[in-house]
Structure 1
Amino acid sequence: MTALGFLHPGRPGEDDYPRIEQLLGSDIRVDLVHTDIGEDALRVDALREMGSPERLAAGMERLRLTGAETVVWASTSGSFVHGWDGAQEQVRSLAMVAGMPASSTSFAFVHAAREIGARRVAVGTTYPEEVAALFADFLRTGGLEVVATRSSGIVTADEVGTWGEEEVLTLARAADAADAQAVLLPDTALHTAAHLGLLEKALSKPVLTANQVTVWEGLRLADRRVNAPELGTLFTREPIVQV
């Protein structure tokens, strides 16, 4: 049994995790602990506070009791708003508190894009433009070329959590670009696990979404590889050898 731990801010999007666990197989357990979100606002200052060391450490105290072997901070905006170096420090601090390998959703996107060999990506976000621009900058620092960025201007995670298949598909199509090798949909409040097959069929290319890459990152930290076609290209491709 491989036990994966996730610190998830608030409740929106949480339904994706038991769904993904079911698709991964009986020897993988997904343990989710909710952290205090503070103010539900997709503003830079509120997002930085949401991912503060104190909030993550409080969540880790509860997650440690589950027996998790790895931990991922399951927030894209709560990590990339600190910048590349700040997000690395956030992960290092979490690993020290947790006593286990740690990462975050922002780094998961970079690692997942490399895994499928996608260097040029389009980004469709629920965020306001200022926050979306910070995510694009983060990806560029990670070595990816961002060929298009789409902002939806939503200001709360609760609103994002109400989106269904139609809204997610509309966002992905609006974000796509002809020269993009993959489309990225950040925000762990967005339900996407049930729509990955539809998204990739509609766009005819890989689609990486926040909760999908977060769980994949937990598996990567645990040195596990799982074939789960319903979770998209990321869970079916052989690893790309980096040179």
Structure 2
Amino acid sequence: MTALGFLYPGHSGEDDYPRIEQLLGSDIRVDLVHTDTGGDAHRVDALREMGSPRQLEESTAELRLAGADAVVWACTSGGFVHGWEGAQEQVRFLARTAGLPASSTSFAFVHAAKELGLRRVAIGTTYPEDVARLFADFLRTGGLETVSVAGSGVVTAAEAGTWTETEVLALARAADHPDAEAVLLPGTALHTAAHIPVLEKELGKPLLTASQVTVWEGLRLADRRVNAPELGALFTREPVIQA
């Protein structure tokens, strides 16, 4: 049994995780521990506080006691708003506190894109413009070029969590660009796990979503590879060998 531990802020799109667990197979367990958001606003100051050591420490220890093999901070914006170096320090803190391999959704996007051999991506986000720009900056530091950004200015994760397949599809379409090799939907509040095959068929290219790459990152840390076509190209393609 492989046990994957995820720290998830508040309550919005967490239904994706048990759904993904069902698609992965009976020998993988997904453990989700909710952290205190300290507020639900998509503001840079609030997001930095959400991912601070004070907010994460207690929940990280809980995952260690639950027997997790790896831990991932399942909040994209609560990672990249700290910048590349700050997000690395955040992950190091999680690893020290849990005594486990650790990562975050922000780094999961970079690692997943490299797994697929991507260089140019489009971003579809519910974030305000200033927060979306910080994500594009983070990706650039990780070696990815952002060719387009579509935002919607949603103020809270709770609101994003109410979005249906129709709204998620509209966001992905708005983000897509002819030069983009994939579309990224970074909001962990969005429900996307049930829609990935439909979205990839519509776009004609890989789709990377927050819950999808977060679980993939946990599997990567645990040195597990799972073929799960219903979770899209990321879970079906052979890894790209980097030169």
TM-score range, shorter chain: over 0.9
- Per the TM alignment, residue 79 of structure 1 is displaced from its structure 2 partner at its CA by 0.2
Q: Is the 8 A contact 2:64 2:99 kept in 1?
A: no
SS of 2:42's equivalent in the other structure is coil
Question: Is 1:226 the equivalent of 2:230?
Answer: no
> Take 1:174 and 1:108, find their aligned partners in 2: how far apart are those partners?
23
Q: Describe the superposition over 1:133-152 as per-residue Cα deviations: whole angstroms up to 9, x where unpaired.
A: 00000000000011001111
> Take 2:69 and 2:61, find their aligned partners in 1: how far apart are those partners?
14
Question: Is 1:9 the equivalent of 2:9?
Answer: yes
Question: Is 1:199 the equivalent of 2:199?
Answer: yes
**2:27 maps to what in 1?**
27
Q: One-letter code of the match for 2:121?
A: V
Normalising by structure 1, report the TM-score: 0.99
**2:66 maps to what in 1?**
66
> Take 2:31 and 2:169, find their aligned partners in 1: how far apart are those partners?
28
**2:105 maps to what in 1?**
105
RMSD: 0.5
> Take 1:195 and 1:66, find their aligned partners in 2: how far apart are those partners?
30
> Take 2:66 and 2:32, find their aligned partners in 1: how far apart are those partners?
9
Question: Is 1:152 the equivalent of 2:152?
Answer: yes
Alignment of 1:142-181 (within 5 A): 142-181=142-181
> Take 2:126 and 2:186, find their aligned partners in 1: how far apart are those partners?
8
> Take 1:223 and 1:64, find their aligned partners in 2: how far apart are those partners?
18
Q: Describe the superposition over 1:16-47 as per-residue Cα deviations: whole angstroms up to 9, x where unpaired.
A: 00000000000000000000011110000000
Equivalenced residues, count: 243
Q: Describe the superposition over 1:125-177 as per-residue Cα deviations: whole angstroms up to 9, x where unpaired.
A: 00000000000000000000110011110110000000010000000000000
Unaligned residue ranges in structure 1 (runs of 5+) = none
List, as ranges, runs of 4+ consecutive aligned residues in structure 1 with deviation greater than 4 Å: none
> Take 2:237 and 2:65, find their aligned partners in 1: how far apart are those partners?
33
**1:40 maps to what in 2?**
40
Q: Describe the superposition over 1:165-220 as per-residue Cα deviations: whole angstroms up to 9, x where unpaired.
A: 00000000000000100000001010000000000000000000000000000000
Percent identity between matched residues is 77
Unaligned residue ranges in structure 2 (runs of 5+) = none
